[in-house]
A and B are shown apart, each in its own frame.
Chain A
Amino acid sequence: MQGFFKVLGPVGALVLLAAGCGGGAAPTATRASQPTATRPAAAAATATPAATRPPTPTPGKAKPAGRVVTAQPDLGREFVVPYKAQSGSDEPHHQAMYDSILVADEAGNVISELAEGFTVSADGLTWTFKWRKGPLFHDGTAITAKDGEYSQRLFTATGNFSAGNVGRSLESVTAVDDSTLIFKMKSPYPLLPRFLSQIVGFVIPKAYHERVGEDEFTKNPVGSGAFKLVNRQPGNRWEFEAFDRYWKDGPFIQSLVLRIIPEAATRMAALKAGEVDLITGVGAQTELEEIRRDSKLYALEVPGGGRTNISFDAFYWNPNTPWRIKEVRQAGNYAVDKKAIADKFWGGKTVPHLIHTSPYTWGWDDRLRDYIYPYDPEKAKQLLRQAGFPNGFDTTLEFHGHPTIPAMEDVLQFVAAQLTAVGIRTKLFPVEHGIEVGKFFEGTAEWDMHMYAGSVAEDPRGVAQFFLASRKHGKNYSTYTDDWVDERLAAMLSEVDDKKARALWFDIVKRGLEEAFYIELPAPSSYYGVNKRLADWYRTKARPYLHNYEYMKLVAP
């Protein structure tokens, strides 16, 4: 191993970002008042959007003012304690009330937060986090590395499976003093900083939690973030007030309300009526147009925020499915006009999304564009003939909507029609989403294909094992077995040299495209509808869920 760094030195900082922080092009990646890391020149060639500097704290703290109300269809599992959260959709309420060990900057790169920096040993097994001095919990006690250790133990010990990947590689986590937290890993684990910038990195107060226990903590939580939880009606609304001793310059708003409004038309009506300032789950072009027509509103775009692809589920339950033949899968890719989908349903606002990788994720390489299947129905028919299906065949495509993907049902119907046009006679197979997931994992899915739709992952390495490792390794969303991919995945996931990891990932993605693991569709933008009194704020631009509430500012409180 070369180049693993010393504490916060220039070389160490360089490798910090190379190893753990994802790609980017900007020369610096800093946060708040204490910049800690710089970006390696080696990574500058990637296409990941440039890292940007967070707002710089100003001397003296502005008094927060005004109230922001957001409305979303759901908040996922609404636990108050963060260690029982699971996915990105759980985050909005936790984002408001907890700070994490690390955090993502505007471009998605991992930078400092409660830890002001970290180092990794030459063998990639020991990660040392230097704790920031000054941040307080909502009860006024200092946030120390010991709270970090305690929170990590809760995450790994209480069945939080977002922490599963970390936990499986983790040998120990120890706070040697109030300002030093050390992770010892069983094997090199380059994704540790990325995970610590997400749910797994949230910190809760050890002393208070130990004293009162989880149930009382749920009733009277003490957080570490910019807002204190003051009222909670599960499944309905969460209300927060600004924490006046927060360590950053913000928060700039006095109160924050997260409302759950399940019905899209009602969310839109609430936005138009001025009852809420921001809505998520803007799903249709008509809704977008409605927002754009209203002079008091604007549509906030999250470029490439959604990801979609069609996987061949029949692969694992039907040994005789035509989808087992590479040429048939390639035919499926040639049959679908991605540009038409982008233009017709997503207003042309899409980016390529190839084997979980897009220009807004780690691992993107412009050379991958060469492997995108063009729309060529004649080639599709030729490949079907070549595969022994001159008259085509019948197949099914599982069908349901998805809140983060606009017009998903329409897209599915369009895809089915295009496949049918080349001879892959596709019937839609409507299934409620929960049942679809359940049947898939239980191995009782009766459909041949399904469209995977979700929010984009900033770093596809975090989901690679789940989507690409052969199903023989356990329950996952993969539908095929490919030992070649398995070997490279294992190598990549323990490769702390960012350049080498990217090279391995490039090979895997290329293989996935050549073998046509999926019918790849472009990644559409996600949108929020926002009242103009709430200006766009410092946030990870490509993250399709709400965060960084501490930077929200009202133009007219």
Chain B
Amino acid sequence: MKLYILRRLAQMVLTLLVITIVVFVLSRMTGDPLALMMPQDARPEDFAAIRQKLGLDKPVVVQYFMYLGGVARGDFGKSYKFGEPAAGLVLQRVPNTAQLTFSAILVGVLLGLPVGILSAVKRDSLFDRFGKAIALVGQAAPTFWVGIMLILFFSVRWRLLPTSGQGDWHHIILPAITLGIYPVAGIARLTRSAMLDVLDREFIKVVRIKGAPELNVILKHALRNAAIPVVTFLGVTVGALLSGTVVTETVFAWPGIGKLTVDAILFRDFPMVQAAVFVSALFFLLINFAVDIVYLYVDPRISYR
């Protein structure tokens, strides 16, 4: 187990190193940041002075190793747009994105799991059809549209919840639902199919014959065995949401890392892009790692060597 963890940590470091190279190269392929930063009347000598100040006049390889040295010290450079350390700005946003992501996952689990379980238990019933419809709509409806519709009804028409921004707990409800609709659909579908598979197994019949209460059969015996694909899905989804909440963050003006990253790309804010992608990648890797560890507890048959 220890060896496994060490091997995974080494793989993570290697992955992060590759990511730094890819992001560094790709961000420079978007073009010259000075073209966007410099004012209308800047002269070639002005360009040269700023290029030198930002270290962009050095060969790309030298720039990369300077950047890598900075990363090792936790210094990603100063954002071109905000004039402050990029890492600090990204880390300020991480809790916001994490809050949104986990709220969305919570919505997904609280709604998706019961719908999936009930759909499986009451197979081919009206509820099952309703559950499948929810799953279909949840996966097909564009996040952007869902968000705007929720704002129009809950904020503008009924004045129940704020339209946007960050504040007390009311502010997270609409973004969490908007972002959580996709996991709701995914969890419901996966839970239903896994539960159907497990409920047909012999050991479930044995448990029932032994007289276990039906609720116990479903929640303790069936659900635990059906949980593996759901946990896998959750792991991947959390990672994806952490770095992919840009649409929801934009619609609700939620100050998260997704919107920050996209703006940084459009502004050619290299330090910010590099810091944001690095942090996102790090979280993604850590969550996948955590999911692998969770497997051990969910399914004792799994062991890592």
Give the shortest distance, in Å, between B221 (CB) and chain A (any CB): 46
Q: Which residues of A contact B (CB under 8 A)?
A: 77-81, 84, 86-87, 159, 161-162, 164-165, 218, 233-237, 259-263, 265-266, 269-270, 272-273, 275, 432, 434-435, 437-442, 463, 465-467, 474-477
With A432-B266, A475-B44: A266-B251 Cβ-Cβ less than 8 Å: yes
B43 / chain A contacts, CB cutoff of 8 Å: 164, 474-475
Contact assessment for B253 and A236 in the assembled complex, using a CB-CB cutoff below 8 Å: yes
Give the shortest distance, in Å, between A63 (CB) and chain B (any CB): 27
Compute how far the CA of A162 lies from the CA of B253 in the bound complex, rounded to whole angstroms: 30
Contact assessment for B31 and A438 in the assembled complex, using a CB-CB cutoff below 8 Å: yes
A261 / chain B contacts, CB cutoff of 8 Å: 164-165, 253
A87 / chain B contacts, CB cutoff of 8 Å: 39
Q: Which of B4-12, B101-109, B147-155, B235-243 lies at the binding interface?
A: B147-155
A262 / chain B contacts, CB cutoff of 8 Å: 250, 253, 259
Q: Is B46 an interface residue (CB 8 A)?
A: yes
Give the most central of B159, B252, B253: most A CB within 10 Å.
B253
Compute how far the CA of A265 lies from the CA of B165 in the bound complex, rounded to whole angstroms: 14
Q: Which of B66-74, B77-85, B193-201, B289-297 lies at the binding interface?
A: B77-85
Contact assessment for B36 and A434 in the assembled complex, using a CB-CB cutoff below 8 Å: yes
Contact assessment for B82 and A466 in the assembled complex, using a CB-CB cutoff below 8 Å: no
Contact assessment for A273 and B159 in the assembled complex, using a CB-CB cutoff below 8 Å: yes
B38 / chain A contacts, CB cutoff of 8 Å: 161, 441
Give the shortest distance, in Å, between A307 (CB) and chain B (any CB): 13
B89 / chain A contacts, CB cutoff of 8 Å: 234-235
A269 / chain B contacts, CB cutoff of 8 Å: 148, 151-152, 155-156, 163-164
Compute how far the CA of A87 lies from the CA of B32 in the bound complex, rounded to whole angstroms: 19
With A78-B81, A159-B53, A266-B164: A438-B253 Cβ-Cβ less than 8 Å: no
Q: Is B50 an interface residue (CB 8 A)?
A: yes
Specify which of A81, A159, A270 is in contact with B49 (CB 8 Å cutoff).
A159
B303 / chain A contacts, CB cutoff of 8 Å: none
A-B CB contact pairs (8 Å), 27 listed: A77-B80, A77-B82, A81-B83, A86-B37, A86-B39, A161-B38, A164-B39, A164-B41, A218-B84, A235-B82, A236-B253, A236-B255, A262-B259, A263-B251, A263-B253, A266-B151, A269-B148, A269-B155, A270-B155, A275-B163, A434-B267, A441-B32, A442-B35, A463-B41, A474-B43, A476-B41, A477-B40
Contact assessment for A266 and B83 in the assembled complex, using a CB-CB cutoff below 8 Å: no
B46 / chain A contacts, CB cutoff of 8 Å: 159, 161, 164
Closest to B40 in A: A466
Compute how far the CA of A506 lies from the CA of B35 in the bound complex, rounded to whole angstroms: 31
Compute how far the CA of A440 lies from the CA of B35 in the bound complex, rounded to whole angstroms: 9
B75 / chain A contacts, CB cutoff of 8 Å: none
The interface size bin for chain B is 35 or more
Give the most central of A275, A440, A475: most B CB within 10 Å.
A475
Contact assessment for A263 and B250 in the assembled complex, using a CB-CB cutoff below 8 Å: yes
B35 / chain A contacts, CB cutoff of 8 Å: 437-442
B268 / chain A contacts, CB cutoff of 8 Å: 434, 438
B39 / chain A contacts, CB cutoff of 8 Å: 86-87, 161-162, 164
Specify which of A86, A260, A272, A441 is in contact with B156 (CB 8 Å cutoff).
A272
Contact assessment for A270 and B31 in the assembled complex, using a CB-CB cutoff below 8 Å: no
Q: Is B162 an interface residue (CB 8 A)?
A: yes
Closest to A469 in B: B41
Give the shortest distance, in Å, between A471 (CB) and chain B (any CB): 12
B83 / chain A contacts, CB cutoff of 8 Å: 77-81, 84, 218
Compute how far the CA of A261 lies from the CA of B252 in the bound complex, rounded to whole angstroms: 8
Q: Which 7 A-B residue pairs are closest in the complex by CB-CB distance?
A: A438-B35, A236-B255, A161-B39, A466-B40, A438-B31, A261-B253, A79-B83
B253 / chain A contacts, CB cutoff of 8 Å: 236, 259-263, 266
